[in-house]
A = this chain, B = another copy of it.
């Protein structure tokens, strides 16, 4: 049973964090049969943090977790901080298949989204 964990930076603004929760709900709607469970987590400043987000996925019956970094640039957060938090989750759940996907900013499909945004304006 596969799960998707959307990971955002986290903000001091509650509304920004709530936006991530709503985004995760939209992802769940669109994931169809590909992901049975969709959760979200934050790198810092908001809860749940990444290890707790992984635990939630597993508690809901997932055996694999795809951690998707909702980040636009490959900074320290993507390169080091997220993998470090995922390693903590792996140590807590050695039987689960926990992997980190490419971050959002690298996606080719993102390029088309930008053109479409401009075209619809």
Contacts and interface: CB of A to CB of B under 8 A. Distances in A.
Given A16-B75, A73-B19, A75-B16, A102 B121 contact: yes
B66 A121 contact: yes
Given A16-B73, A19-B73, A73-B11, A113 B107 contact: yes
Q: Number of contact residues on A: which range applies? A: 35 or more
Interface in A70-101: 70, 72-75, 99-101
A67 B92 CA distance: 45
22 contacts: A6-B114, A11-B73, A11-B75, A19-B74, A19-B105, A23-B114, A27-B111, A27-B114, A30-B112, A34-B119, A35-B118, A66-B118, A66-B119, A68-B114, A68-B118, A70-B72, A70-B114, A100-B121, A101-B121, A104-B110, A109-B112, A113-B113
A111 to B, nearest CB: 5
A27 B105 CA distance: 13
A70 B115 CA distance: 12
A41 interface: no
